[in-house]
Amino acid sequence: MAHTYGIYIRFDFGTDEEKAQQARHKLDGWRQAFRLDKRVQYKMDRPESTSPEAAAKPATTEKSGTSAKAKQKPAGKASVKAEGKSSEGTTTKPAVAPDGKVGLLVRLYFSPHEKLSEQRWLARIPAEEPFKNASPKVIHQGDPEFEATDQQFESISQ
């Protein structure tokens, strides 16, 4: 799907998976709180990972663990505690190659009449803590690497 307008922000977290996950959680919180579902999208970029399926597995286990909790009705305090402990062990650390680099590619896709919101988010995201030290690079639509970045964003499966 070709986009006529958008801005990409590329973050490179190196091998710090924890910072990348913090950044992902912060983006999720903003998307929910400010209703930015289609306007702010992101994908985790692991260029040296073995396969896209391996990168997608931790996300599916995390979602299935939380959805299983929501569907079950607790029988008592002991069952809730035991359930929480068993799911914590599976979702704490995603399985990633030990020397794999982690990047985050964020797409801001505001319509032309939302210029002020776009400028505010473009200034806010790279200035926040988990993003600040990840060498943010802003790629506007007119930049020569925009097309390659757009294709890379579309090719990442998540």
63-110 pLDDT, tens digit each = 444 444 444 444 554 444 444 444 344 334 455 445 689 999 999 999
Residue 69 lies in a domain: no
Q: What is the pLDDT of residue 5?
A: 75
Residue 138 has pLDDT above 70, yes or no: yes
List the one residue out of 120, 139, 117 whose CA is nearest residue 128: 120
Taking the CA atoms of the chain, what radius of gyration do you get in angstroms?
A: 18
Each residue of 11-55: pLDDT tens digit? 999 999 999 999 999 999 999 999 999 999 999 998 765 444 444
157 or 78, which is more confident: 157
* Entry pTM: 0.68
pLDDT score of 100: 80
Residue 135 vs residues 12, 14, 64: alpha-carbon distances, Å: 6, 10, 33
* Domain of residue 145, residue span: 16-58+94-158
What pLDDT shows up at residue 27? 97
- Residue 2 included in any domain: no
CA of residue 109 relative to chain centroid, distance: 15
Could you tell me if residue 7 is inside a domain? Answer: no
144 domain-assigned: yes
Domain tally, the chain: 1
Residue 9 lies in a domain: no
Rounded Cα–Cα distance for residues 82 and 153 (Å): 39
Within-domain flag for 23: yes
Please state, in angstroms and rounded to a whole number, the distance separating the CA atoms of residues 38 and 51.
27
Cα dist. 143→7, 25, 71, 105, 140 in Å? 10, 29, 47, 16, 6
Could you tell me if 64 and 40 are in contact, meaning their C-beta atoms sit under 8 angstroms apart? no
> Looking at residue 105, what is its pLDDT?
96
Tell me how crowded residue 27 is: count the other CB atoms within 10 A of its CB. 20
